[in-house]
Each structure stands twice: as C-alpha cells, then as structure tokens.
Structure 1
Amino acid sequence: MLQTRVIPCLLLKDDSLVKTINFKKPGYIGDPVNTARIFNELEVDELAVLDITATNNKRQPNFKILSELANECFMPLAYGGGIRTFDDAKKMFQIGIEKVIINTITFDKPEFITQLAAHFGNQAIVVAIDVKKNMFGKYQVFSNSGRKKQKVNVIDWAKKLEQLGAGEILLTAIHQEGTWNGFDIELIESITNAVDIPVIANGGAANLKDIEQVVKKGNASAVSLGSMVVYQNKGMGVLVNFPNRKELESAIRK
C-alpha cells in the first residue's frame, strides 16, 4: 500500500461513467463495473465514485450499480451523490461501501455529519468541499455539483466540518477539475493547515510532478485522480490506467 493514498475518482451519470471539465461537459468513459475490474487488476488501494446528477435530480443513489461495484471491487470503495438520509447511508454500508461522501445535505443539515459519524465512525464519513476561484481570485464554496454558491468561508467551513465529525475532507478545485493544469496548491495548503483530519486533494492532476507537489507543498494526505486515470493523455482517447507504482512511491515519499 502506498504511503500516501492515490485514489481514482470516477464520475457516474445515469448508468455510465463520464469525465467532466470544470464540472461541465461530461464525456463518456465507459461501464462502471468493467472499469472497476481494470482497477482491481491495477491493484489500486482505494476507489471513489461520485454520482454527479443524483442530488440535483432529487433521486436516490443507484443502489443496483453500487451493489455490483461493491461486489466487484477488491479495494475499499467510497461513494457520494444523493445521500440525504440515515437510511441511505445505512444501505451503503450494508451493500459493502466502506465510506460515504456527502456535500449538499451538509449545508441544510450539518447535524447529519454528526449523526452518521456517531453511528458508523468518523473514518467512514467523508465530506466534500467544492471550491471555485472567481475572477477576483477569491475562493467560493459551491454545492449541488457546482451549481449553488454557499455563503461560507472555505477555511471556516472546513474547520466546522471537522468539529461536526467528518473523518476526511475531499477538496475539489472546480476551476482546475479536468483541465490537466495541476492542483490548486494554495487552496489545498490553506485547508491542510487549518484542520487535523486527512484532506484528499482533487482537481487538475496531469502527471507525477503534480502529485508530488500537492503532497509535499500542499501537505495533502491523499490524492484523487480523474482524467489522468481514464485518458491516455490530454486530448487523447479513453484508457483506464494507473501510474507506475515505483515511480509513484518515489514521487510522494516525504
């Protein structure tokens, strides 16, 4: 297992996997279960799946596909999207999901984090923070897959999530997501310095150098990869892959 977790993050839309750019323009990637099989063969340590339409469409998670994924995956599986009730979360753990990822619901019901953490343990609760940098360089927090701006300060919000019982934060820079332009190190470092729980950096990775920088400069506890593990390269076709493990270990060794 890698010293710093490097986690493929797959985006689910209806029954298929897609990849977005700045949370827009979803491009088809493939079948979720077949993709999970490939990551099994590549022996990744952890896998995350986010349903990008469940919350905005006000529907439950796709438990059928998630059950198939949980049965297929050899590695721990985290899932986010459309989890709004205790029963939703409970069903996730019953089918074999190891962590739930929540976001939008936390703005209306912050106590939901505490409820889940008290019952399932902090380690099983990941709270996502989606952040966009505006034209003035100010960071703004969004919910609803980047559609709704929230009136919270990102650092204060991260601290509050930790106090409420979040076990990890999945921090996504919307302005970097899918761009291959590297992580927003400034954003990530500001959050890792503010909280004591693990921060998973997400959005923008293009190569091993980006991963090295976000771990060593941004102090990320884990790294989430999207485009880099589903495409051959920028502007090229779909190819499910994972960085060479020895090169990865060398890059992230502190």
Structure 2
Amino acid sequence: MLRPRIIPCLLVHKGGLVKTQGFKSPKYVGDPINAVKIFNEKESDELMVLDIDAATNKAEPNYALIAKLAAECRMPLCYGGGVTTAEQASRIIDLGVEKVSVSAAAVADPALLTRMAEAIGRQSVVAVLDLRKKTGLFSKGYELCTHNARTAHKLDPVAFAQQLQQAGAGEIVINAVDRDGMMQGYDLDLARQMRAALKVPLTMLGGAGSLDDMKALITACGVVGAAAGSLFVFKGSYRAVLINYPTQAQKDDMCRTALSAHRQH
C-alpha cells in the first residue's frame, strides 16, 4: 500500500554537505558519507542527494562520490546532478542508486525522460522542478527556474509538470525556491495544484521546519513525499548542526493522523 514518505534531502557543494536559503549562501554542515551513515541508523524512508554544482558547471556526475554513497546507503537513494544522457543515468543505476533525478536537462530536452525511462525504467526517473513565486504588482503564479534559480523559463509549471509526466517521469519533485531553508512550512497551495494535476508520485521540498509542517502537507495532499533539508540537519533556533530524523513511532503517528484528516476533507 502506498504511504507518505519522509525524505531527507542532502545538497552537495564542492564535495561537502551544505544547506542553502533561497538557493543562496551555502553553509557547510558536514560530510555527505557521515550523514548517510546517521540516516541509515535512523532508518530513513528514502534519501535524496543533489549535487548543486554539476549543472551550473556543466560537469559530469561525480561517479566516485555516487559509488561511495550507494555503497553506504541502506535505504532507497535518489541522486541528481549533472545528468544529461540516458547512458549517464544507466551508469548511476549500475552503481546501486534506485532513482536518478534531472532538472535543467529535462527543461532543455523533455524527451530525455523518455530515453531515461527506456534505459532504467520509469520508476527510476525523477524530474525536479524549481519554482518560485512571480514578483511584480500584476504578477501571480510561479515561474520555473534552473541553474540554482539563476535562469527563469517562460513555461507554465503545472502544464510542464504534466508534460514531463507524459514524457516518462515516474516521480515529480517540486522544490519551492522562496521557501528553501526558511523552515516556515510548505507552500500548500502549490502542493494542492500539483497533486490535482499529476498521476505519478509527488514529492514537495522547501519550507519544512517541523513534523507539523509535514503533517499539514499530508493532510492537504494525502499520499505524498515530504522532503526536507534544514529540518533534518539543524536543531534549535540557532541552527546548530545535528543530523536528526523522526522515530518510526513518531512518523507512523503523524502519517496516520494526517491521512485520516485528509480523507475527512
């Protein structure tokens, strides 16, 4: 039976683990391999690792790092960063990774998802869309960004997410740029829009500051992936670095209560 997934998202920058705010000011928070070891112990549902340098630098995926991550990881692992071909995706899967995510490359060439799905299976293809709220007196809605939100695209985010689903994405991750690192809750309006428009699994990223925020997302959307970065690497108002994750009992209770509330809506 499908159930909500609670997913730590780790950002890799210059080989280290970092956390950003609004996709800016990366703060070093530790070693990615050590973080994976801790999430293993805490029995995380899944793990997402995104190399935030690769696409901007037009670099190949860091296969050496990927191999180390996959060898250490005892949970399903999704890796993204620098993937522009189905051959690269196949090589990453061969290293022991369960899912491969693409962002800028999917915007440039949606048919890449079709080729990836043929090579590694649709269930292993993840499209990540970075969205930020439009600014300006008469602007409303969201714009799609790539390359760490430095490049904006004139595409309707919902329609484009549906296009990527049709092309071969087995999962869509919506990353809310404005909420990245803010720890003030998910964009529930955006989550509802995307959940209503898509048939494939949906994961939301950006804004989670507590388990209550995840509970609100699940209440709004039902079975959904609740991903977070800051929530799982910081502790307290001073943002001391501490890798953490809810216990199985906490997670089960939260998901059960939220799904029950979702069904009553």
Please tell me the TM-score bracket, short chain as reference.
over 0.9
CA distance in 1, matches of 2:43, 2:165: 31
CA distance in 1, matches of 2:237, 2:228: 14
Give the TM-score, by structure 2 length.
Answer: 0.92
Amino-acid identity (%): 37
Measure how far apart 1:138 and its partner are. Answer: 2.3
Residues 1:93 and 2:103 are matched in the alignment: no
Gaps of 5+ in 2: 260-265
Measure how far apart 1:197 and its partner are. Answer: 0.6
Paired residue type of 2:28: Y
Residues 1:166 and 2:169 are matched in the alignment: yes
8 Å contact from structure 1 (residues 200, 220) kept in 2: no
Measure how far apart 1:168 and its partner are. Answer: 0.3
Superposition map of 1:230-241 within 5 A: 230-241=233-244
CA distance in 2, matches of 1:2, 1:109: 30
8 Å contact from structure 2 (residues 86, 119) kept in 1: no
CA distance in 1, matches of 2:58, 2:238: 33
Give the TM-score, by structure 1 length.
Answer: 0.96
Partner residue in 1 for 2:13:
13
Gaps of 5+ in 1: none
Aligned-partner SS, 2:116: helix
| Inter-CA distance 234–152: structure 2 relative to 1 (3 Å threshold) | farther
Q: 2:200 aligns with which of 197, 200, 220?
A: 197
Residues 1:212 and 2:212 are matched in the alignment: no
Residues 1:26 and 2:26 are matched in the alignment: yes
Q: Which moved more, 1:127-136 or 1:23-32?
A: 127-136
8 Å contact from structure 2 (residues 7, 48) kept in 1: yes
8 Å contact from structure 2 (residues 90, 119) kept in 1: no
Residues 1:128 and 2:131 are matched in the alignment: no
Aligned-partner SS, 1:128: strand
Aligned-partner SS, 1:12: strand
Superposition map of 1:141-156 within 5 A: 141-156=144-159
- Whose helix fraction is larger, Structure 1's or Structure 2's? 2
Partner residue in 2 for 1:229:
232
CA distance in 2, matches of 1:151, 1:3: 34
8 Å contact from structure 1 (residues 49, 79) kept in 2: yes
CA distance in 1, matches of 2:19, 2:48: 13
Aligned-partner SS, 1:193: helix
Partner residue in 2 for 1:67:
67
Q: Pairwise CA RMSD of aligned residues?
A: 1.4
Partner residue in 2 for 1:245:
248
